[in-house]
Amino acid sequence: MVVIVDTVTNPLRPRHPEKVNRPDSASPPKPDWIRVRAPNTRGYADTRNIVKSNGLHTVCEEAGCPNIGECWDKKHATFMIMGDTCTRACAFCNVKTGLPNALDAAEPLHVAEATAKLGLAHVVITSVDRDDLADGGAEHFAQTIRAIRAACPATTIEILTPDFLRKEGALEVVVAAKPDVFNHNLETVPSRYLTVRPGARYFHSIRLLQRVKELDPTIFTKSGIMVGLGEERHEVQQVMDDLRSADVDFLTIGQYLQPTRKHHAVMRYVPPDEFSSYEKVAYTKGFLMVSASPLTRSSHHAGEDFARLKAARAATAR
């Protein structure tokens, strides 16, 4: 998904109205190691039909994830709740921006039904930012977790949340619903926030992750960043230290890919050996799990990674 203007569902509404008048930003050609196969398998089609028949959105589609073919072929989808329109306008993101619609009260049940139909042992739930809501959508997250628990009691649940900035008490509502994994992505290093993630605050996000552990130490915490946005290596290492100071268990590092020429340019394609180096450094800093590669994304291989997380925690407890 790389359109800047949606000419199918609403030809009069730009997908990214805040970016339409920006000058184009050219990225260098993609190297061979960043290419993926087109999604055209039977498993992919089956997953797509289940998602559409339940009226759901996925971050796989909305954010243009390069791994959609691989994941959907295995019937792994990351559900995106609270609509497909975000109240923020991050320079890297391909999700629609604008004023969202009202919440769908039936959505938690539909997500639970789709989880059951797909037979998911591990499900990932994310959302757009909903700064328009008093709680940022925290209660909707909690309702979705509870609905999945009721329909699929054996399924483990991973959530990838917004930052709930200036939403007092919101985090406590989500943590009380007891997801198995609480993920909140930092996205980039602090020096790039003004241009990459201007609506967020780096140290608020660090504190959010730290607070999850204070509220419920049994919940695994997770965060991720993109590289190739102009960051320096020492800045990435500092992010690792900040996350470990917040007792975060799992770190993901992936290559930033430009959705359209109106988005932030790719400053550099980081070669695979640098990702391997980052992974080694991160493990020395104490993370239970690290995933670092050009195509690493927050929800990629989430089910397998959760099993490894549990095993790593058990090993450290011996």
Using DSSP's 3-state secondary structure scheme, residue 47 falls into helix
How far apart are the C-alpha atoms of 83 and 3, rounded to whole Å? 19
Using H for helix, E for strand and C for coil, what is the string for 70-128? HHHHCCCCEEEECCCEECCCCCCCCCEECCCCCCCCCHHHHHHHHHHHHCCCEEEEEEC
Phi, psi of 301 (to 5 degrees): 60, 30
Residue 152 assigned to a binding site: no
Q: How far apart are the first and last CA of the chain?
A: 46
CA distance linking residue 60 with residue 78, whole number of Å: 6
How does strand 85-86 pair with strand 78-81? unpaired
Helix (H) or strand (E) holding 226: strand 220-227
AA identity, residue 86: C
CB environment 146-181: b (16+ within 10 A), e (fewer): ebbbebbeebbbbbbbbbbbebeebbebbbebebbb
The residues near 14 (Cβ < 8 Å, ≥ 6 apart) are 4, 5, 6, 20
Residue 65 known to bind ligand: yes
Q: Name, in order, each residue with C-beta under 8 angstroms of 99's C-beta and a sequence gap of 6 or more.
A: 85, 87, 132
CA 256 to each of CA 28, 101, 186, 247, 259: distance values in angstroms, whole numbers, following the listed order? 12, 29, 13, 25, 9
Q: Is 60 flagged in the annotation as binding?
A: yes
User: Which amino acid, residue 159?
Assistant: I
Residue 195 token pair: 């241009």
CA 12 to chain centre: 29
Q: Show binding-site residues for [4Fe-4S] cluster.
A: 60, 65, 71, 86, 90, 93, 299
Q: Which residues are annotated as a binding site?
A: 60, 65, 71, 86, 90, 93, 299
